[in-house]
């Protein structure tokens, strides 16, 4: 049952009194339920409303979570008690709807990618800054326990100087995934395997290795009827001197096979795999080699993490950032990095040459 306007207003007023922040979801597709579940799992957040161009879809989700349904984003954003908007719509709408929310004075959590162009990403970042609101990009795999452990080990110098890293996304999507709607696999609203499926792994690559200097890539549409690529491969040179490789595809019939990051340093080699960079495949670090089997055995005994756990950590970080008046950990600047690397791969594939990352940046006016 969808609650009434008066009931929502009462809940919102109570939320302001008890310190609970009011959230709304824009877009009621598959990923929205992860945000909704994460909000419901917390005591300091309340799902006030959901919004979707499909009234039926919005009503259905609102009924499930006991909140209000909207089909008009502008009307939703006019609610003064609304604090944070989670943008869960198709990728091509992320920047424009994030802009609307920021200009309405709402904090913004946006799914990946934060935009489809660097110009739109920068406009969203600037709008959030100018309107005094926070911007967080959902890069939830950074918060997975194995990823955090690897980052801590790298930061502590346990792997030594990082020399090489590889990301591999061997996933499968049937043709129906692309032909079943009007946005998947299109340049205007989505992009292909690199922009949609592999971008979390590409984020992990540059999060570990640092800023990229240049990239050379090939892309192809090998197994599907779609505008964008279903396969992309590239090699990256990092400013720190290391090298990296990227492989991302949706062609590995009949199912997802691998989604991994392997990191190789002077004193250690580690691979994180699993469904979402959430399992250690090997951990061969100087001084810890004898503990590898124990690490792997303990991991097998651990229950699998809930599907919204990492989204909940993104949510928690945003709430703390608002209350502490600081930048979220996965802010707009962080979200921009993986977007830039994918766009550099696309340019390299189009032009058949190495692309330096600086070529994507707008030239400063003199």
Per-residue confidence (pLDDT) for residue 362, from 0 to 100: 79
Question: Has residue 7 got a pLDDT over 50?
Answer: no
Per-residue confidence (pLDDT) for residue 19, from 0 to 100: 84
Task: Give, rounded to a whole angstrom, the gap between the first and last alpha carbons of the chain.
Answer: 59
d(CA 342, CA 349): 11
Question: Has residue 225 got a pLDDT over 60?
Answer: yes
Q: Are 103 and 124 in contact (CB under 8 A)?
A: no
Per-residue confidence (pLDDT) for residue 308, from 0 to 100: 66
pLDDT digits (tens, 9 = 90+) for 28-65: 999 999 999 999 989 999 999 999 999 999 999 999 99
Per-residue confidence (pLDDT) for residue 6, from 0 to 100: 43
pLDDT digits (tens, 9 = 90+) for 308-322: 688 999 999 999 999
Per-residue confidence (pLDDT) for residue 309, from 0 to 100: 81
3-state percent helix, strand, coil for the chain, nearest multiple of 5: 40, 25, 35
pLDDT band per the 50, 70, 90 thresholds, residue 306: low
> What are the CA-CA distances from residue 240 to residues 23, 159, 204, 214, 217 (Å)?
40, 15, 16, 12, 20
Provide the residue count of the chain. 366
pLDDT band per the 50, 70, 90 thresholds, residue 289: confident
Question: Has residue 223 got a pLDDT over 80?
Answer: yes
Per-residue confidence (pLDDT) for residue 4, from 0 to 100: 38
Of the candidate ranges 69-83, 194-208, 290-304, the one whose mean pLDDT is the lowest:
290-304
Mean pLDDT, the chain, whole residue set: 93
* Same topology between domain 5-139+313-331 and domain 141-302+338-349: no
Q: Is 295 helix (H, G, I), strand (E, B) or coil?
A: helix
Per-residue confidence (pLDDT) for residue 364, from 0 to 100: 44
Rg (CA), the chain: 21
CA atoms within 13 A on the CB side of 320: 10
Question: Has residue 249 got a pLDDT over 60?
Answer: yes
d(CA 259, CA 40): 29
Per-residue confidence (pLDDT) for residue 276, from 0 to 100: 83
- Class of 5-139+313-331 in CATH: alpha beta
Per-residue confidence (pLDDT) for residue 26, from 0 to 100: 98
CATH superfamily of 141-302+338-349: Dihydrodipicolinate Reductase; domain 2 (3.30.360.10)
Bigger pLDDT: 186 or 363?
186
pLDDT digits (tens, 9 = 90+) for 168-207: 999 999 999 999 999 999 999 999 999 999 999 999 999 9
Spans of all domains in the chain: 5-139+313-331, 141-302+338-349
Please choose, from the candidates 171, 173, 111, the residue with its C-alpha nearest in 3D space to the C-alpha of residue 137: 111
pLDDT digits (tens, 9 = 90+) for 184-195: 999 999 999 999
Per-residue confidence (pLDDT) for residue 13, from 0 to 100: 41
Per-residue confidence (pLDDT) for residue 305, from 0 to 100: 66
pLDDT digits (tens, 9 = 90+) for 106-160: 999 999 999 999 999 999 999 999 999 999 999 999 999 999 999 999 999 999 9
């Amino acid at each position: 049952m969808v609650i009434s306007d008066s009931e929502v207003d009462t809940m919102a007023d109570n939320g302001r009194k008890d310190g609970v922040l009011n959230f709304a979801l824009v877009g009621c597709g598959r990923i929205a339920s992860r945000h909704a579940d994460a909000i419901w799992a917390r005591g300091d957040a309340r799902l006030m409303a959901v919004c979707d161009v499909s009234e039926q879809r919005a009503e259905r989700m609102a009924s499930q979570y006991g909140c209000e349904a909207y089909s008009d984003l502008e009307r939703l954003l006019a609610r003064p008690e609304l604090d944070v908007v989670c943008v869960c719509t198709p990728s091509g709408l992320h920047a424009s709807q994030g802009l609307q929310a920021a200009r309405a004075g709402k904090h913004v959590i946006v799914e990946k990618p934060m935009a489809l162009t660097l110009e739109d990403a920068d406009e969203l970042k600037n709008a959030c800054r100018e309107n005094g609101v926070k911007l967080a990009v959902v890069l939830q795999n950074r918060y997975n326990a194995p990823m955090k452990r690897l980052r801590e080990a790298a930061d502590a110098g346990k792997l030594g100087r990082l020399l090489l890293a590889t990301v591999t996304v061997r996933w499968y999507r049937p043709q129906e995934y692309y032909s079943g709607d009007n946005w998947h696999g299109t340049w205007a609203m989505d992009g292909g395997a690199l922009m949609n499926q592999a971008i979390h792994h590409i984020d992990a690559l540059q999060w570990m290795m640092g800023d990229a200097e240049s990239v050379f890539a090939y892309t192809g549409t090998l197994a599907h009827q779609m505008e964008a690529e279903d396969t992309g491969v590239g090699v990256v040179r990092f400013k720190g001197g290391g090298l990296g490789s990227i492989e991302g595809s949706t062609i590995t019939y009949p199912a997802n096979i691998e989604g991994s990051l392997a990191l190789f340093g002077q004193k250690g080699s580690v691979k994180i795999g699993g469904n979402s960079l959430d399992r250690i495949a090997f951990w061969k670090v100087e001084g810890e080699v004898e503990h590898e089997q124990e690490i792997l055995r303990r991991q097998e005994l651990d229950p699998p993490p809930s599907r919204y756990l990492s989204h909940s950590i993104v949510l928690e970080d945003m709430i703390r950032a608002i209350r502490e008046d600081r930048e979220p950990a996965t802010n707009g600047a962080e979200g921009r990095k993986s977007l830039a690397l994918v766009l550099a791969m696309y340019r390299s594939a189009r032009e058949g040459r190495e692309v330096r990352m600086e070529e994507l940046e707008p030239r400063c006016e003199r």
